[in-house]
Amino acid sequence: MRRTALTTLAAGLVALSAGCGLLGTTEPGPTAEPPADASADPTSPEGSPPPGEVVSVERDWHGARVSFDVRPVEVDGDLAVLRYDLHATSPRPVELSTIVLNLGGLGSASTDGRGVRLFDAAEARVHPVAEASGDLPAAAIDWTADDTLQGSAVAVFAAPADESVDVLFPGFGVVTVPVVAAGDDFEDAVARVGGVDDAETKKIRAFTRSHDAGSATSAEDDEVTVTLASDVLFASDKHTLSKKAQGVVDRAAASIKKQADAGDVQVVGHTDDVDTDAYNQTLSERRARSVADRLRAALAGDFTVTEDGRGESEPIAEGTSPEARAANRRVEIHFRGSLVVEADSKDDIPETDAPSAENGPVTISTDGGEYAIEVESLVRRPGAIVGTLVAKRTSGGSIDPAWFLPAYLKQIGDRQFGALGDLAGAHNLSLLGTEERVLPFDYTEDETVGFVLRRLLGDEEVKPMGRGESTLITVVWPDTGQDTVTVDAPDRFRITDVPVTEAPTGD
């Protein structure tokens, strides 16, 4: 059996050069000559970016042919500027306007499907578009439309730390570009977007859930959290572990031994909002103590286990529905380490009744028609697997807004993506390990008292299509270390034996 650590702290970044596009077929411009001073900091503000170092890509999208020319990301101090040009042709103006809506936000903070972002999975970081005054995105795009659509875009981000960075274009995929020193017009580009009030870099989170749905594990940097569902562990209003629950905690202990260095383990109990604050506080403490006592026996003397109860004070799901309350009843186990996935053959993964195919197209049916879906590529990047799927509508003509994953009215793991993710996103698209499913990376967009809003590192809205149209679906998963993987949309479709290829590198 293979065990792969999905550590979010990279060890040794693989340097990549221009032309490493992941959007599909790319036509890179000429590779720049190395700087005269090879020891110079590649992100130094001195000098100008190498000329002609542009990554070009083309895509068919909802009846339109779209091409991008993406320039190197320029860095000066703490800020970075991304520029790209696009050209689209379409027999119907509606597709052109859809492209404008899709890319015009350039990273708007809302989860409306828009959001060009820079990311570095090896460093476990994502760079959303910076904020200009008035909480507007620090981005601008100029459009011209006739029988064709042309745009010239600029967006400002927090500066990435490495010599290349991945750029996520919603609906169009991921492309890798070099990071270079700023040119003479860098300040003009920043002024064009209205200046910058705030440019953030956010940590991305790896997330898995066990096949039996009894536990979930998340990792940000080296902070790992194993969440056990209280309904699996305890009877209503009880704090004594059943024999079955003891097995669940023992499996959690085995997981901790694989994933953690010897050290501190904290157990935290949580309840829903039924009954009084005082009652729930006491119940959470008793439940945490029951789990902690079992863990101490299983972990022996290599770990120091402490417990705490938080009552109903830290819900992870809003509302008072049965589903929200069930999510909030939980016991969390916190420790330092790295998330580990057990990776073995496809024979060890759960069976499914959904349409399946072996490394090929699979056809799914909805009330509105039929769709063919296939994996175009799975590309290994440092710390990540970038997945690109292509879907085509083959029959039907009515509007089918939630066609992609209509069974997704409940997100796996209560990851707090918001309503749009529930209805039309790729949030539950998974890679399957032996014991758990690996979900795409996510990160915290906004955090206020009692509520956290997270965003997906991937397509947050898979748009409806007309008959004969196709669309691209991109997500970024933690690297499982597998050479072939199973891509699974629960209860919707499964594609097995998909090879993972290494990202191309320059000479």
What is the per-residue pLDDT across 308-349, written as a single tens digit (0 to 9) for each? 999 999 988 878 888 889 889 999 999 998 887 776 655 678
pLDDT recorded at residue 449? 58
Among residues 149, 171, 203, the one where a domain terminates is 203
Confidence class for position 22, pLDDT limits 50, 70, 90: very low
In a domain, 209, yes or no: no
Mean pLDDT of the chain: 81
DSSP string, 116-134: -EEEEGGGTEEEPBPB-GG
Q: Which domain holds residue 145?
A: 2-203
In a domain, 448, yes or no: yes
Tell me how many domains the chain contains. 3
Residues 310 and 374 in one domain: no
Answer yes or no: is pLDDT of 26 > 70. Answer: no
Residues 238 and 317 in one domain: yes
Among residues 337, 369, 388, the one where a domain terminates is 337
Mean pLDDT, residues 393-409 taken together: 77
Residues 74 and 159 in one domain: yes
pLDDT digit string (tens) for 492-502? 999 999 999 99
Residues 385 and 282 in one domain: no
Any idea what the CATH number is for the domain that residue 274 is in?
Answer: 3.30.1330.60
Which tokens sit at 240?
Answer: 């004594």
Residues 300 and 189 in one domain: no
In a domain, 343, yes or no: no
Any idea what the CATH number is for the domain that residue 481 is in?
Answer: 2.60.40.1240
Among residues 144, 169, 203, the one where a domain terminates is 203
Residues 63 and 124 in one domain: yes
Q: What is the pTM of this model?
A: 0.84
**Nearest residue to 476 via CA among 75, 125, 110:** 125
3-state secondary structure of 1: coil
In a domain, 208, yes or no: no
End-to-end CA distance of the chain: 35
Which tokens sit at 239?
Answer: 């704090």
Mean pLDDT, residues 106-132 taken together: 75
In a domain, 406, yes or no: yes
State what percent of residues in the chain have pLDDT above 70.
79
Q: Are 243 and 259 in contact (CB under 8 A)?
A: no
